[in-house]
Chains A and B, each alone.
Chain A
Amino acid sequence: GDSVTQTEGQVTVSESKSLIINCTYSATSIGYPNLFWYVRYPGEGLQLLLKVITAGQKGSSRGFEATYNKEATSFHLQKASVQESDSAVYYCALTPTGGYKVVFGSGTRLLVSP
């Protein structure tokens, strides 16, 4: 079945440094899946950070970027300079073509130290 893999359970980055959170996916249905990053800030509900539905395209929001790489089946999340307020749990997710449900990765907790 479809799956999303986030290899890092937690990442610690110093403020103003760059960030990359890894995400790879496997989609068994015909066609390319839609890819998403969701984020849960402390005390808040899960919310969409960005999405990309076309292979090869880049999505961006709040200084974060992710590129849909269909050859590598990856959708890594990057930010050039993190802030303390970026501390949260980030979830990579996909929806298969024509599918009815969203498949989530297990999340990566980002801690930004001052």
Chain B
Amino acid sequence: NSKVIQTPRYLVKGQGQKAKMRCIPEKGHPVVFWYQQNKNNEFKFLINFQNQEVLQQIDMTEKRFSAECPSNSPCSLEIQSSEAGDSALYLCASSLRGTNERLFFGHGTKLSVL
């Protein structure tokens, strides 16, 4: 069973509010991914890290999304000013050696922006 811990499980925010979610990857996993899964079950890759370094990320031109994976602290994903379209399930996953290995997923944080 996966031991990727995501908090909170549910997050409700008003439009314009900041939304922050956290992820503790499986112990010993240096690679961490964030995905957004919308109501149509479609996955959107957001960003991934190896240790504290960003490997790849979408073009966050809106600058509303930011993420980090500091050493000895949970990884986090933050939306500076939430919009209704941000309502989705945010999934964190970790792996031992990257995408050729299995990903271990958390339960996700379900964000609702009212």
Contacts and interface: CB of A to CB of B under 8 A. Distances in A.
**Band of interface residues on B:** 20 to 34
Nearest to B103: A102
Contact of A48 (B43, B55, B91, B102): B102
A53 B35 CA distance: 22
Contact of A100 (B2, B4, B98): B98
B73 interface: no
A7 interface: no
A54 B35 CA distance: 26
Contacts of B40: 106
Contacts of B4: 45
B100 A45 contact: no
A101 B56 contact: yes
